[in-house]
Copies of this chain bind each other. A is one copy, B any other.
Amino acid sequence: MAQKINKKPAAGQPITIGLAGFGTVGSGLAELLERNSQIITERSGLALRLKTICALEFKNRSRQSLSQYRLTKDWHDLVNDPEIQIVVELIGGAGIAVEIILAALRAGKHVVTANKAALAAHADRIFKTAIEHQAEIYFEAAVGGGIPIIKVFRESLVGNHIREFYAIINGTTNFMLTQMVGKGWSYEQALKRAQELGFAEKDPTLDVNGSDAMAKSGLLAMLAFGGHIDSKKIHREGIESIRPVDVAFARQLGYKIKLLGIAKQKEVGKAEIHVHPTFIPAGSELANVENEFNAIYVKGDFLGPSLYYGKGAGSHPTASSVVSDLHDLGQRINGQNRFNPARYRFDRDITVMPMDSVESAFYLRLQVQERSGILAKVTTVFAKHRISIKSIVQHDAEDPKNIPIVFVLHKTREKDLRQAVATISRFPFVREAPVCYRIEDLS
């Protein structure tokens, strides 16, 4: 029984947010805050209020659907608004975006950004300004899209010396390499397909030549090893010259080719950091990261190896990371050292559904005495219980009086399956108790 002792979380003042940039990620952020604000408040007691959006055009949404926001083309409206506590920069690039980030920090506002290019090119100025004005700059979305790797490096691994990491952090090149390895395609074929599907830009240079992965590797290494890194010193090679013959040899030797950002700390203050196509064992976790997915494989001296996997780009995954940063900054603004009873929602029960009503696909093995006429009888029972069959496998058996037959069944309620199996198990030709396993296709 739920304990009726929780009050509604005492929502503090709303956290007021200004957004610069309304492209695919910016509109995804607005969508997330519109759709999921209730659950964010339930979990954290925080009300995240998007007040103002600054963009040159608002083509992703109708003006009417944006009527709750103040819309502007002048970013000074974000920086000069005393009510705005956090400026979210989602314009990208190392131009005007940097100007906005610096101005917001100077105005004492916290900044959340997905802009790895700006952070890599102007790390010194940006972080120095943040320190001087005691404003924070958070950038979970800048590396690995929706993967919470920045927070993991900064907080979860706080007790570890991070020895090394290996990162697939460019979705474009990983998608292309997946096609080149899986289908034997050339670089040119893979690029064309990636552009058709929107995984590669019209000008893919910064992705395919490793520049994007280099910027991200430098940021991760900065967090991992705790110091300032001159990203121009990072050795970089792209995937443009990979040829099918080498992809084929790699396979023959038990490897897959992946574009990796690699960093290893050799001693305090000294590290190797490099980005290039790399042969890695085909059976490793990292080799199985395919298509547009990203993953970071990291070794801590106490944690050992660990891996973080997810979508490295896209409107919704990136918005998920931006909101994680907004949550953390909101907690700081409201004073994080208060006890937060909203962590424990013991004021409501989650009903665990009875297993009978759960739906799964199934594997079912019968051991039967003979083959003839059996399928007709069994499938009639399935049909009666509205269970449909995906496939049937019969094998030659050592003992011709004890033959396995395997059925793969489409999704069905447990109750229906159990009733059908009970009926089937009573057929005289069934020799042993039928064996059942649930199937999850993880799709």
User: Is the CB–CB distance between A304 and B310 below 8 Å?
Assistant: yes
CB distance from A358 to the nearest CB of B (A): 5
The docked-state distance in angstroms from the alpha carbon of A50 to that of B351 is 41
User: Is the CB–CB distance between A349 and B227 below 8 Å?
Assistant: yes
User: Is the CB–CB distance between B156 and A148 below 8 Å?
Assistant: yes
The docked-state distance in angstroms from the alpha carbon of A243 to that of B404 is 13
The docked-state distance in angstroms from the alpha carbon of A350 to that of B273 is 10
B-chain residues with CB within 8 Å of residue A308 when the two chains form the complex: 306-309
User: Is the CB–CB distance between B346 and A124 below 8 Å?
Assistant: yes
Dominant secondary structure at the A interface: mixed
Interface of chain A residues 395 through 443 with chain B (CB within 8 A): 404, 406, 408, 435, 437-442
Cβ of A128 within 8 Å of any chain B Cβ, yes or no, is yes
Cβ of A377 within 8 Å of any chain B Cβ, yes or no, is no
Task: Given A2-B227, A270-B351, A319-B302, check contact A337 B336 (CB 8 Å).
Answer: yes
Cβ of A151 within 8 Å of any chain B Cβ, yes or no, is yes
The docked-state distance in angstroms from the alpha carbon of A441 to that of B154 is 26
Cβ of A80 within 8 Å of any chain B Cβ, yes or no, is no
- The 8 A CB mask of A346-370 against B (1 = contact, 0 = none) is 1011111101011000010100000
The docked-state distance in angstroms from the alpha carbon of A323 to that of B136 is 24
The docked-state distance in angstroms from the alpha carbon of A331 to that of B337 is 8
B-chain residues with CB within 8 Å of residue A185 when the two chains form the complex: none
- Interface residue from B234, B255, B333 paired with A352 (Cβ < 8 Å): B234
User: Is the CB–CB distance between A311 and B320 below 8 Å?
Assistant: no
B-chain residues with CB within 8 Å of residue A408 when the two chains form the complex: 253
Interface of chain A residues 293 through 342 with chain B (CB within 8 A): 295, 297, 300-311, 314, 316-317, 319-321, 323-324, 327-328, 331-337, 339, 341
The docked-state distance in angstroms from the alpha carbon of A32 to that of B132 is 33
**Chain-B contact segment, one of A196-204, A275-283, A380-388:** A275-283
- The 8 A CB mask of A163-186 against B (1 = contact, 0 = none) is 000100000000000000000000
CB distance from A27 to the nearest CB of B (A): 13
User: Is the CB–CB distance between B441 and A353 below 8 Å?
Assistant: no
B-chain residues with CB within 8 Å of residue A320 when the two chains form the complex: 157, 159-160, 300, 302-303
User: Is the CB–CB distance between A439 and B278 below 8 Å?
Assistant: yes
User: Is the CB–CB distance between B2 and A281 below 8 Å?
Assistant: no
B-chain residues with CB within 8 Å of residue A346 when the two chains form the complex: 124, 127-128, 131, 227-228
Q: Give the 3 A-B residue pairs with the shortest CB-CB distance, closest first.
A: A159-B323, A336-B336, A306-B310
Q: Which residues of A contact B (CB under 8 A)?
A: 1-3, 5-6, 28, 32, 35-36, 39-40, 42-44, 124, 127-128, 130-132, 134-136, 140, 146-148, 151-152, 154-161, 166, 221-222, 225-230, 233-235, 243, 245-246, 249-250, 252-253, 255, 257, 260, 262, 266, 269-274, 276-281, 283-286, 288-289, 295, 297, 300-311, 314, 316-317, 319-321, 323-324, 327-328, 331-337, 339, 341, 343-346, 348-353, 355, 357-358, 363, 365, 391, 393, 404, 406, 408, 435, 437-442
